[in-house]
Amino acid sequence: MKMVLSVLLMLVAGSRMPSDEIRLRDLPSVSREVLSYLPRNIVIAHRGTTYWAPEETEAAMRWARNSGADYLELDLQRTRDGVLIALHDVDLRRTTNVEEVYPERAASPVSEFTWEELCALDAGSWFNEAYPERARKEFVGLEILTLEDVVRIAEGYRIARGPNGRRMYQVDARGRRSPCYEKDPMDNGNRPGIYPETKEPHLFPGIEKDLARELQRLGWYHVDTAHMKRIPVMPGKVAVANSPARVILQTFSEESLVKLTEAFPRRIPTCLLLWLGNEPSDLKQNTPEAYAAKINFAIEHEAVIIGPSIAGAPNLYDELLAPWQGELIYRAGLQIHPYSFDTEEQMAEYTGWRDKLPARNRADGMFTNLTDMTIRFYQETLPAEYLKSNEGVGLPDNLQAEKKCEKAETLLDRLGYSSMVVNR
């Protein structure tokens, strides 16, 4: 009777039942070990936030950290002189004033600019123009961040700035610059992990090894965990940064996943992202067979998370996490981190709360553009029986329960982004 009911529910939802004949690979022992310390019910701050502040800037990342995100998510690219930066688009036109500063190079990819050239760009003003109802004076002039910037923010620091508001550097005897940071006076003690994505990795050969080297330099990765930086944490605060799961890697690219496996000989949590399309690594057909092939590729190359797109406004992505797809992933023993949540309706649907079916929860972590909203959903809406178990990880199931979630606007004020821009 239960099986018949399950089939009927899936048919009503417009879902296909995966065939029992579809073969899924067995998880290797190294993947089981990684899964043993990977927390569930986590909140992943997508680009810091795309809603409350200019994405992937210091304002977005400081806000996400203080809001209580478990991870700061960023898109990883590389400058012409080898600096790893946080930026989503291949070129700079949407989120900077590159057309004013470098008009003849405006359409050029990020890889053709040096880090010093990128430092001349304003990565905040566009947000004020696009979203005047959320505009703030202090967003003007925000810079593109480096990977190191994001790590330092996660550790409780902020960029050190001079009287003109521009970031400060130390210069050694050979003229090499290194960035300056200072303890963030508004840091509230949360220590999130980071969740970097190799963005368009075919444009940046070797970026996987660069990422591993930089994380080791910063103390966030080492083949021997005893050599990683110890990050002080406070009771009752997010403490992911001082855990073995402090970094989760992600990529859409199958080629990059293979290279990440090679670049990180001590395996750490890794997510294979899914997109329906025609690019080489895209899911070409939304069928059980094609979907299972992606899962098997992830398992073969020691990824432990699948990151599918979810349906619904405002993004209107393809539905790659129907109930049958969640069933396939869980049958393989992997976790699911869907992207990206913008509404309570989406959270209710993919946690099973909408249909009042706890077994329908197919989100071990949520990429969210509104960390505050997602935390409140876990605190105020989702019953305990819908949560995934963290028993083996040694953590409470509801990691969000005790977080103090300030109103987003109030928190931005507190962080120093308080002056509203007059609409033009």
CATH number where 62 lies: 3.20.20.190
User: How far apart (Å, rounded) are the C-alpha atoms in residues 397 and 387?
Assistant: 6
Predicted pLDDT at 19? 59
- Residue 412 in any domain: the answer is no
Neighbouring C-beta atoms of residue 212, cutoff 10 Å: 23
CB 206 within 8 A of CB 261: no
How far apart CA 360 and CA 323 sit, in angstroms, is 7
Task: Measure CA 92 to chain center.
Answer: 20
Does some domain include residue 198?
yes
371 domain-assigned = yes
Q: Rounded CA gap, 205 and 210, in Å?
A: 10
Q: Write down the pTM of the prediction.
A: 0.94
Calculated CA dihedral for residues 350, 352, 355, 358, nearest 10 degrees: 170
Regions of the chain where pLDDT drops below 50: 1-15, 422-424
Task: List CB contacts of 415: < 8 A, sequence separation 6 or more.
Answer: 59, 62, 63, 66, 186
**Are the CB atoms for 132 and 415 separated by under 8 Å?**
no
Contact criterion met (CB below 8 Å) for 172 and 108: no
Spell out the SS3 assignment of 373-415: HHHHHHHHHCCHHHCCCCHHHCCCCCCCCCCCCCCHHHHHHHC
Query: What are 271's two structure tokens?
Result: 């997510």
Nearby residues of 399 by Cβ (< 8 Å), 6 or more positions away: 39, 41, 42, 43, 70, 378, 390
**Residue 405: what pLDDT?**
86
How far, in Å, CA of 219 to CA of 195, rounded?
A: 15
- The angle subtended at Cα 192 by Cα 188 and Cα 193, nearest 5°, is 160
Task: Label each residue of 247-284 as H, E or C.
Answer: ECEEECCHHHHHHHHHHCCCCCCEEEECCECCCCCCEC
The domain total for the chain is 1
Mean pLDDT, all residues of the chain: 94
Does residue 173 fall inside a structural domain? no
Return the ∠ at Cα 317 (arms to 314 and 323), rounded to 5°: 110
Residue 270 counted as domain residue: yes
Does some domain include residue 132?
A: no
> Which element (helix H / strand E) includes 347?
helix 344-350
Give residue 342's Cα distance to chain centre: 14
Answer whether residue 169 is part of any domain.
Answer: no
Structural domain range at position 315 = 2-91+189-398
Tokens at 33, concatenated: 């070990």
Contacts of 318 (CB under 8 A, 6+ apart): 275, 276, 286, 309, 311
Determine the pLDDT at residue 174: 81
283 belongs to a structural domain: yes
Report the DSSP pairing between strands 181-183 and 157-159. antiparallel
Alpha carbons within 13 A on the beta-carbon side of 219: 13
Q: What pLDDT sits at residue 173? A: 81
> What is the rounded CA–CA span in Å between residue 264 and residue 243?
17
Could you tell me the two tokens for 22? 């579809």
